[in-house]
Amino acid sequence: MSAAHDPALVSPRTGRRWLAVIGLETHVQLKTRTKLFCGCEYRFGAEPNTLTCALCTAQPGALPVLNCEALALAVRAGLALGADIAPLSKFDRKHYFYCDLPKGYQISQYDQPYCKGGGIALASGRFIRLERIHMEEDAGKAIHDRGASTLVDLNRAGVPLIEMVTQADIQTAAEAFEYLTLLKERLQYAGVSDCDMEKGSLRCDVNISVRPAGEGWRTKVEIKNLNSFRFIAAAIEHEAWRQIEAYESEDPAQYPVQETRLYDPERNQTRTMRGKESARDYRYCPDPDLPPVVLDASFLERERSNLSEPADSRRARYREQLGLSPADAAALTSERAASDYFEACLRSGIDARDASSWIRNELLGWVGEPELGLRDFAQLPISPRELSEVLELIRSGRIASNAGRKLLRARALAGPDGPGIAALVAQLGLEQVQDDAQLEEWCRAALIGKEKIIADYRSGKEAALNALLGPVMKQSGGRAAPEKVREILKRLLSG
């Protein structure tokens, strides 16, 4: 291994080489309409306790029924990650007591998860193996911020999750960051989850221990409730050094213990949350209310055929077959909606470089602009056909290219039901003026009082023409066709 890839943390005090051993457990919310075992809808930010029923509030006698849409998305996630889907899996009860879990147990999968293996290759070529993926229901939310009281919101109770557990293959904070970025991209492209950390639809726990190079594994610590990839990387970095310093203190009372810690991004430190439960504490048992999940080959085949091409393969194709730069290919695949849009542009006959440059330099940058009100690229109300119309107007000289930009923005502002491109060209008066008589009138007006420039031009300074072009364009409100203006100016000056 080259020095650049050396994952060791070298203690500045002792010069000792330490290795971090890191595993990640990532929960993502499946993008279903309803919850995992009942028909309640889920929307982030809804009024508390308005999206609940007898089942998700744990009324006696309510029985769970598996949501097939959730199962299909879970399977698709497994396929997108190259995992093996088990033909037979089952649901188990994981018992614990907390106010946001009124049943007293969470329905999860224990010894027979629906998915094993798979993983993600990092750019370095190192492969981060997944141990398993299982389905489970989310718990509700306990809100502790009202003084002494705790409020419970059960809207989230029963929302479908998958949990992806890696092997302890990750060696550095940077690798954890890269793994998560690629994982999120893979799941978004597969249409499994929006992976929006701000809405809690992607959450990640870190398991981390350190060991001196060449020695065996030591006690691992779990860090919970990390809400950004940047914080995850910072927490790993911090926790690894905390453990190294603890071991190097040579005081066994300070050595890391098996526990769950919380990361505080403001102080950049972790602190004890609670002792770590082991599987035994949860008293797992099969859920008698749910039959085993049996998946047949035709179901798997159908889900496999529903998978879209992943981002990394699209990026390679854009570079190798379409000749785009790596930066362009990366920008176009930064979200699936943009990449799908680019592909639709190619299908409607737009040149790859044109499509790429308009998407990258204009359209992508409009997302999040308050004026346009686009929350994500998928909301862009400009169809690829309309972009193609605008490019054709520019190519044929009917509008200038900065008028094209104006036109597209107007189209975006008008929303999905707004006027089309042709109507907007007329409405905004963007069509270039080609009429010779009109252009000549503007040119003659621009020459008045410009004796110095005229003399310069006539003495051979071709560039002097540019000083006349500006006033003509200004007078025409930017609509004069510039090439024609040049011709007319030349003719007038040589006469």
| Contact footprint for Zn ion (CB under 5 A) | 38, 40, 53, 55-56
In the complex with Zn ion, the residue whose CB is nearer, 53 or 58, is 53
Query: Beta strand pairing status for 115-116 and 84-85?
Result: antiparallel
Residue 90 Cβ, how far from Zn ion at the closest point, in Å?
A: 22
Q: What is the token pair recorded at 295?
A: 């998946």
Residue 402 Cβ, how far from Zn ion at the closest point, in Å?
A: 54
Cβ atoms 167, 120 nearer than 8 A: no
- For residue 415, which phi and psi values (nearest 5 degrees)? 80, 175
Residue 56 Cβ, how far from Zn ion at the closest point, in Å?
A: 3
Residue 40 Cβ, how far from Zn ion at the closest point, in Å?
A: 3
In the complex with Zn ion, the residue whose CB is nearer, 55 or 170, is 55
In the complex with Zn ion, the residue whose CB is nearer, 58 or 346, is 58
Taking alpha carbons only, the member of 391, 290, 408 closest to residue 350 is 391
Residue 313 Cβ, how far from Zn ion at the closest point, in Å?
A: 39
Residue 191 Cβ, how far from Zn ion at the closest point, in Å?
A: 24
CA separation (Å) from 10 to 15, 18, 98, 237, 284?
6, 6, 42, 13, 41
Alpha helices in 113-252 (DSSP H): 173-189, 229-248
DSSP 8-state code for residue 378: G
Query: Beta strand pairing status for 259-264 and 269-275?
Result: antiparallel
In the complex with Zn ion, the residue whose CB is nearer, 53 or 447, is 53
Spatial distance between the Cα atoms of 320 and 341, rounded to a whole number of angstroms: 19
E strands, 236-392, in order: 259-264, 269-275, 285-286, 293-294
Q: How many residues does the chain have?
A: 495
DSSP 398-460: SS-HHHHHHHHHHHHHH-TTS--HHHHHHHHT-SPB--HHHHHHHHHHHHTT-HHHHHHHHTT
Cβ atoms 74, 160 nearer than 8 A: yes
Residue 158 Cβ, how far from Zn ion at the closest point, in Å?
A: 6
∠ Cα 181 83 208 (to 5°):
50
In the complex with Zn ion, the residue whose CB is nearer, 101 or 430, is 101
In the complex with Zn ion, the residue whose CB is nearer, 99 or 428, is 99
Residue 99 Cβ, how far from Zn ion at the closest point, in Å?
A: 18
In the complex with Zn ion, the residue whose CB is nearer, 53 or 122, is 53
Residue 57 Cβ, how far from Zn ion at the closest point, in Å?
A: 7
In the complex with Zn ion, the residue whose CB is nearer, 41 or 436, is 41
Cβ atoms 18, 210 nearer than 8 A: yes
In the complex with Zn ion, the residue whose CB is nearer, 55 or 233, is 55
